[in-house]
A and B are shown apart, each in its own frame.
Chain A
Amino acid sequence: MAVNEVKPTRSELIELKKKIKLSESGHKLLKMKRDGLILEFFEILGKAKNVRAELDASFKEASEKIGIAKSVEGTITVKSTAFALKDAPHIQVESHNIMGVVVPKIESSSVRKPMNKRGYGVLGTSSYIDEAADSYEILVEKIILAAEIETTMKRLLDDIEKTKRRVNALEFKVIPELTEAMVFIRLRLEEMERENTFRLKRIKKS
């Protein structure tokens, strides 16, 4: 709000005071939200780091196990055995709220199955296949967990950025401008008051 656009009236001053009060309380709340989000973010960052490390380890393990299964049993065996597994894991995406930020909550079921319930026969397969399937089931679970945590982290980061911009806009733009306008009106009103007093004195004298 440019100062020259402000009408130096008492009602405008009251309006401005209200706006400043509102902006200051909004600024305080947004600052609290930002700090809260940052705290949540750091908490989730720790978890994300652990999950990512676990995911990397699971991927390495799964790659090694499938490599062993393919080399010992052959790709043909691994591929044929994979044909026996048609059931895909069920993934349910729900949402929940962290300080106004909607984040996903991913629930999964039937990812891990007992070895004798996977769909392939036990006698015609081996522990090379079992362990490759096992390690990939673990990997899928870690991917689901990492997807939930990393999406939450990204959403929180976006919201922190947005809140930070709002806090800065209020702190460095809106509130100073409103304050400047208020000061201007106050000075202008004082000036008008003085002019009036002077005018009245002149009238009295004459």
Chain B
Amino acid sequence: MRLLQKFKNKGKSSQYKGSSNYAYLATRVRAMKSNLVPTETYPRLMNMGISEITRLIQETEYKRDIDELARTYSGVDLIEHGLNQNLAETFTKLIEISEGEPNYLITEYLRNYDVWNIKTLLRGKYYNASTDEIKEAFVSAGQLSYTFLSELAGKQSYSEVISALESTEYYPILKEYDETNLSDIENRLDKMYYDGLFNVIGGSKSKDRKLFATFIKTEIDIKNVKTLFRLKKAEVDPDEILDLIIDGGLELNVKNIKKLLSLSYDDFVQALSKYSYWDTISEIVSSDTDSLINVETQLTKHSLKSASSFSHVYPLSIVPIMDYIISKRNEVNNLRIITRGKAANLSDDVIRNQLVI
């Protein structure tokens, strides 16, 4: 109920309560950052087997989560669920210890986990998955707590789930769900998340908030470029693609994207060379590229590297906090890529290519 109340109170940008505690938060985040796995550990992990990696991970802050989940899971599943649980707890902790503006910014940024969990609920109910199966797929790193989500997972039908979310801002979209338009609802929820982020950065005037805005806008650009690559390659109708474009990018505004939409795939690839993202992908992309996996990996790396490039400026602002969120998420991703990759017998080159170190 507390969470629902929080949702009710949540208004549009700049309507946050309490004084901002940047100094306190920055100190806590600095301490938390020191617990991250050092960069030089990854090459060592690449040379280890799964059991050795498990032992090494158990020597880090993930030990408690892995021990806790050891009764339910084993092997690589245990590691993955342990990593996710730790990520969820860390981000929830950040929301809890922050006040005022940083709390608002962090909550808005981590809202994608709420969107993810709502999508999982709808998908699970659509598939008639069991409550446990749905609960397994939650990552409660946003505002919706695991207990609340578990209650929703136990509901009999999707309509009961949607009714329970009536007081949230997702309801206007969710109420239009009728079991035939799942992908449309998912896309609208994701767009709502990015629109929310765009609203957050809308009125930023200070230098640190401008950096934060640049980071969000770059993320929107990268998301749009990835969407364009996927849909152009699949030869989807330009109007349908336009519906999935997120407004508010740094280099690619809707007007530019409309121009790209009218082009063929080959011309679209050529036209991208005008933008700064081209440098990241120019060596791997061509008109006859079969797989977009490497393109997407490189774009993700670009997004993370651009975020870390300004992480050390403005120490008492949202910037180091965002840097920690990104670094933590990246650490979880890297550890999962190595363990899952080794379990799936992927070659070292393939695994290394996916890592962002």
Contacts and interface: CB of A to CB of B under 8 A. Distances in A.
Interface in B241-258: 244, 246
B295 interface: yes
Nearest to A78: B137
B127 interface: yes
A71 B126 contact: no
Given A68-B350, A126-B296, A131-B293, A79 B341 contact: no
Contact of A115 (B127, B187, B236, B351): B236
Contacts, number: 141
A75 B76 CA distance: 10
A130 B296 CA distance: 12
Contact of B346 (A68, A116, A128): A68
Interface string B264-302: 000000000000000000000000000111011100000
Interface string A175-202: 0000000000000000000000000000
Nearest to A128: B293
Given A67-B341, A84-B126, A79 B346 contact: no
B244 A123 contact: yes
Which secondary structure characterizes the binding site on chain A? helix
A121 B186 contact: yes
Contact of B354 (A71, A77, A86, A122): A71
A84 B350 contact: no
B170 interface: no
Interface of B: 77, 80, 84, 115-116, 119-120, 123-124, 126-127, 129, 133-134, 136-137, 139, 182-187, 189-191, 194, 223, 226-227, 229-231, 234, 236, 240, 244, 246, 291-293, 295-297, 333, 336-341, 344-346, 350-351, 354
23 contacts: A64-B344, A64-B350, A68-B293, A68-B344, A68-B354, A72-B333, A72-B337, A74-B340, A75-B77, A79-B133, A80-B137, A83-B129, A83-B137, A84-B127, A84-B186, A115-B231, A116-B236, A119-B183, A123-B186, A123-B244, A124-B116, A124-B186, A130-B292
Interface of A: 63-64, 66-68, 70-72, 74-77, 79-86, 114-116, 118-124, 126-128, 130-131
